[in-house]
Structure 1
Amino acid sequence: MQRYGYPRPARQRGQAIVEALLMLPLMAALVWAVSWVGGLQFSAQQLLQASRKTVMSGAMGQAVEPPHSMAAVGLRQRVLELPGIAPPNLFVLQREWFGAGLSLLSVYVRSWPLKEGRTPFIARHAHVAIGAGHAHGDVDTHRRIGNAPTAWRQVERASLAQARRVGAATRRMESPWGRAALQTDWLSAWADVVPPDRLGTRKGRKP
């Protein structure tokens, strides 16, 4: 029977309850999946930061260990020599200045699963070249350059001979004006070129 031209609404007879019972588990599963994937992404970001911090600490000569905030972390490191990085004509200079060839420090970080075989784990790899030979201050720079036979001593020996010969002649010419003699200490003169606040630190100390 119709009233005012509108059809009478049909009865649901419990159909909405059945649909709700079917959809509620699905909605709950979607909420759980979103939170689970979000947790994995957060763990991946944590491992990324942990691997970078660990590999950079190892490159600076510090202990390679996971940060305190990442307790459930597995850590493995490996150092590989990198022969052939420097061309043959520069390999001698590399060893004289840096003391050793370049090496590759690899850090492998993974999260431990909460339940063996059931929870996926996340792994991160980080690599950095170590042994790049960065000098730690003016004294270290002076020592490395001065002790390098090929890059400094051989050239210095020839230059000193010329400087002494020219210095004797210029001393007679410049003495009436009271000018200083020719300076042959070519390394110490650069000691104060870099401002102290621009020098890096090593193990928390100023070089």
Structure 2
Amino acid sequence: MDDTAALVGAAAGGDAGAWKELYQRYSGLVWSVARAYLPGAADAQDVAQTTWFRFAEHLTRIRDPGKAGAWLASTARNEALRVIRTSGRSIPVSDVGLMGLDVDERSPEHALLEAEEAVADAERAQEVWAAFQELSERCRRLLRVLIASPRPTYQEVATGLGIAVGSVGPMRGRCLRRLGVLLARRGVTGSSG
């Protein structure tokens, strides 16, 4: 089944395979929208779970089942905003993970070279993250949602962020240009590998 409306109908009828397909198709979008608003992974996870719960509750009552992605994005946004309103807090966090190497089966020279590359990659990642943090909140939210996997449609992005569909592309361009300027100021160019 490739049609979203048919998947929603099948899931509403109890088809576990259809539910699984919907989850696989839209879980990245739901997560990205939640993380676009919430810096804490635990809060974002709660929002994602609540969003899927609400989807299951409303599965038979969704007005346009073909736009399930937009419904999920909008619900994730609303849930995230509810968490922000009720918590009254914001905690900045870094998306840059710790990098580690398993050097058990490598020569010392190879391990050293990889360690040096890992350090350079980590330093570059920190600079990219710092530049990303300098972007406006609106740009950070947009870029977080756009990198969801599988890639969301502009309609889903617009619904999730509460912006007009026609503004997604131009806004994306402006945000990426601004990020490019910030990276250039930091001396970050291209990939390190």
TM-score by length of 2: 0.21
Whose helix proportion is higher, 1 or 2? 2
The structure showing larger relative contact order (alpha-carbon pairs under 8 Å, at least 6 residues apart) is 2
